[in-house]
Amino acid sequence: MTTYVDSSALLKLYVAEPDSPTALALLESDPVLVTSWLSHVEVRRNLARVLDGTQLIKARQQCDLDFDLMALITLDEPRWRAAADIAEELGVRSLDAIHLACAQKLNINPLTFVTFDIRQAQAARRMGFTVVGA
């Protein structure tokens, strides 16, 4: 099985939130995790926003180690265009559209899509992904 993980799920690995145990269980259930480089940017940004000092340093180090173990999607021109189409057709936010376009690039049916963002989850379901988390 292959699981696409968005930044809302990944952040829960480093910041204690109500759904953190659920996120951890979901991510541990699949040895093949895929995300985009966008997730790296979003997670690191949010770590810096909510943590500081030693907590931030440790979380950043663990984040970098974890991202080294995941398959990371780099956007090419067709994916940027797909993200624009998704944003336009489904009315999702730009960053959500980029995640959805990255997941779509995998061309796996059914693809498990892990997110804790309700609007993104709704769009992912409309695209035919099996959504867990939200």
Phi-psi region of 76 (alpha: psi -120 to 50; beta: other; left: phi over 0): beta
Angle formed at CA 29 by CA 25 and CA 30, multiple of 5 degrees: 135
Query: How does residue 134 score in pLDDT terms, banded at 50, 70 and 90?
Result: confident
3-state helix, strand, coil split of the chain in percent (to 5) is 60, 15, 25
What is the pLDDT, as a whole number, of residue 15? 95
What is the spatial order of strands in the sheet that 33-36 belongs to?
71-73, 33-36, 3-5, 112-115, 130-133
What is the pLDDT, as a whole number, of residue 32? 87
Q: What is the pLDDT of residues 85-123, one digit of tens each?
A: 999 999 999 999 999 999 999 999 889 999 999 999 999
Cβ–Cβ < 8 Å for 30, 2? yes
Beta bridge partners of 72: 35
What is the pLDDT, as a whole number, of residue 47? 97
The more confident residue out of 127 and 1 is 127
Q: What is the pLDDT of residues 27-50, one digit of tens each?
A: 998 888 999 999 999 999 999 999
Domains of the chain: 3-133 (3.40.50.1010)
Please report the DSSP string for 57-92 in residue order: HHHHHHHHHHHHHSEEEPP-HHHHHHHHHHHHHH--
Q: Return mean pLDDT, the chain.
A: 95
Structure tokens at 33: 């995790």
Arithmetic mean of pLDDT, 8-22: 94
Residue 76 corresponds to which amino acid? Answer: D
Structure tokens at 108: 């796996």
* pTM of the full structure: 0.92
What is the pLDDT, as a whole number, of residue 107? 93
Return the percentage of the chain with pLDDT > 90, whole number.
91
Q: Is the pLDDT of residue 76 over 80?
A: yes
